[in-house]
Chain A
Amino acid sequence: MAKELLKGNIAFAEAAIRAGCEAYFGYPITPQTELLEHMAKRMVDLDRVFLQAESEVAAINMVYGASCAGARVMTSSSSPGISLMQEGFSYIAGSNVPVVIIDVMRGGPGLGNIQPSQSDYNQVTKSAGHGDFHPIVLAPSTVQEAIDLTTLAFDLADKYRTLVFVIADGAIGQMMEPAELPEMRPLREKPPAWALTGAKGRPQNTISSLFLGAEQLEKLNLDLQAKLALMRESEVRYEEAYLDDAEVVVIGFGTAARVAQTAVKRLRDEGLPVGLFRPISLWPFPEKQLARLAERNPAIRSFLVVEMNAGQMLHDVRMIVGHRVPVRFKGRMGGIIPLPEEIEEEIRLTFESVGIPTLRKEASNGHIAR
């Protein structure tokens, strides 16, 4: 299909529909409401299930029910709504049913604001609810990637019977850029065998996260951990740029990585040996890949983590490579997107912090280093 000018939120919605989403339940919250609005029209046009719930709590429990009933199902929300949905995430994880969630993050804590942020990294990768589980978390940095990862999210949810998050910040949700949507997939002919469809000619199917016996519940947890281990092996995704001779490596995801990419390119043009490592799967985090990068490139003197939060992914990076080389951090909060110039300056400071001088002159692209 040809490229078209698409807003991120619409792209998420349309990609979900084309990936075979059969049911959507959601609650309005900025900056993702266009996604819900697109579903309100398109899902009904296609004779699929759309329902505006009375709250995020109800929405995720409707999603839980629809998934138990065997539907490919999705909801979307933004940070405060994701907090409310945590109850449902935990039950869904405990029941091993597939669900896709789009989180278009905004600034927090509390009501915060509606500006772009990456404030939910910890919430979705580390503590999406009570109990020992992690959802798969995918982080696009462009509208095209939002489409591709949403398609992938449905496949991974089905493959592992798990929660899959696609997390974007408000910038990706709200901006328009050219992107290509895939063809419409045919819907599944029948629900999976484990689904609740009425016990016709077979024993009853039951779906529950309640296991009162300690051994029984430990067994469920061990099975869940084995599934997570399999995802850690098979579902790591990331992107690398300019790493071969890099002495400083910038690490970021989503919009922060995209801004960082601009800064890295500019400094490369100046001849500074800087590279970029962009995790696409935030859980499973590319741990081995990052560790190997630090091992195989002894030239790397320092890492610089760039995020639109106070340093959430930073802890993962420090845990993996912090014992080998220093890890510095640049973050903006409150819904502020860092400018390329800010990141350029931080990269220069990172070089200087390990004794590599950088040229502080008027840059070739016309920007003046602070």
Chain B
Amino acid sequence: MAILPADEKLIDVVAIENRDEKLVYQRPVSLTDVYTHYCPGCTHGIAHRLVAEVIDEMGLREDTILVASVGCSVFAYNYFELDACEAAHGRAPAMATGVKRVHPDKIVFTYQGDGDLASIGMGEIIHAAARGEKFTTIFINNAVYGMTGGQMAPTSLPGQVTTSSPFGRDLALCGAPIRIAELLSNLDGTAYSVRRSLHDARHIIQAKKAIRTAFEAQVQGLGFSIVELLSTCPTNWGMTASESMEWVKDEMIPVYPLGDYKVAPELATRR
């Protein structure tokens, strides 16, 4: 049983030290001990945890720098126990370039949503990948602008109703969804570009493996690495948490097929 004291830290009121239990699961050291502002059913929390677990397991926490972006994950630096900065909308890949060029021996990653990365920041992400910048991008694709309240994103599905496409996304008017993992896989500077999903336990485990491989690519200095994560936004989709998981599986994956779009030969054994 957990209670919420004034300092907003979780305290387990059951004295665990006297019980014959083996610790098998705990907060990663790379996550701070605070509540997040994310909505119930949102997969940001899962994505944060997976990244933090990978950083912990690889022993990189004290050498990692986060570049947060604009969107719902704008406060990611409050949730990761890492050195971090907050970029302007879409500019995280440029800012990460600056950080990584100054500290080539550190691990640098951006954490960006689809409005940030695939719309206003398209130029920055394409050129960072093309230069083979040796940082990692965690790309959250939930087919909508979350923070501003559910507007159409470049990744919104055909016909998807959003606050700025009230009649459904019209492909003749707005074009078709952009598939980032495929797009960036075409650039020589990209060492690793894959798409995973966070809609169920099996896919979450696969997503974590991909995040690990992406960080391995950076440690090995192979080039730019990105993991696109199909994610939920129950609040802006107008769904329950479980409905939104189903929507990812039934509606998003057909438009955004899961898979490995580019894997540098040095990483192939890790697949």
Residues in A lying within 8 Å of B, measured CB to CB: 22-23, 25, 49, 51, 53-55, 57-59, 61-71, 73, 87-88, 91, 95, 196-201, 204-210
> In the complex, are the beta carbons of A208 and B95 less than 8 A apart?
no
Identity of the chain A residue whose Cβ is nearest the Cβ of B103 in the assembled complex:
A69
> In the complex, are the beta carbons of B95 and A204 less than 8 A apart?
no
* B interface size (C-beta, 8 A): 34
> In the complex, are the beta carbons of B94 and A66 less than 8 A apart?
no
B251 part of interface (Cβ distance < 8 Å): no
> In the complex, are the beta carbons of A66 and B77 less than 8 A apart?
no
B196 part of interface (Cβ distance < 8 Å): no
Contact of A66 with B98 at beta-carbon distance under 8 Å, contacts A54-B127, A58-B123 already known: yes
> In the complex, are the beta carbons of B101 and A66 less than 8 A apart?
yes
Contact of A22 with B64 at beta-carbon distance under 8 Å, contacts A54-B127, A65-B95 already known: no
19 contacts between A and B (CB under 8 A): A51-B97, A54-B124, A58-B97, A61-B94, A61-B98, A61-B124, A62-B95, A63-B98, A68-B85, A69-B98, A69-B102, A70-B102, A196-B84, A196-B99, A197-B65, A197-B103, A206-B78, A206-B83, A208-B86
**Closest approach, in angstroms, between the C-beta of B88 and any C-beta of chain A?**
5
Contact with A199, one of B61, B78, B87, B88 (Cβ below 8 angstroms): B61
Identity of the chain B residue whose Cβ is nearest the Cβ of A203 in the assembled complex:
B81
> In the complex, are the beta carbons of B94 and A199 less than 8 A apart?
no
Contact with A62, one of B74, B78, B97, B106 (Cβ below 8 angstroms): B97
B82 part of interface (Cβ distance < 8 Å): yes
CA distance A210 to B67 in the complex (A): 13
| Majority secondary structure of chain A interface residues (helix, strand, loop or mixed) | mixed
Contact with B85, one of A22, A73, A206 (Cβ below 8 angstroms): A206
Contact of A206 with B84 at beta-carbon distance under 8 Å, contacts A65-B67, A69-B103, A197-B106 already known: yes
> In the complex, are the beta carbons of A196 and B86 less than 8 A apart?
no
Q: Which residues of B, 50-82, contact A by the 8 Å Cβ criterion?
A: 61-65, 67-68, 74-75, 77-78, 80-82
Q: Which residues of B, 21-76, contact A by the 8 Å Cβ criterion?
A: 61-65, 67-68, 74-75
**Closest approach, in angstroms, between the C-beta of B53 and any C-beta of chain A?**
17
Contact with A206, one of B77, B88, B96, B98 (Cβ below 8 angstroms): B77
CA distance A291 to B128 in the complex (A): 51
Contact of A65 with B94 at beta-carbon distance under 8 Å, contacts A196-B85, A201-B62, A207-B85 already known: yes
Those 4 A-B pairs whose CB atoms lie nearest each other, nearest first: A65-B98, A65-B95, A61-B94, A208-B86
B134 part of interface (Cβ distance < 8 Å): no
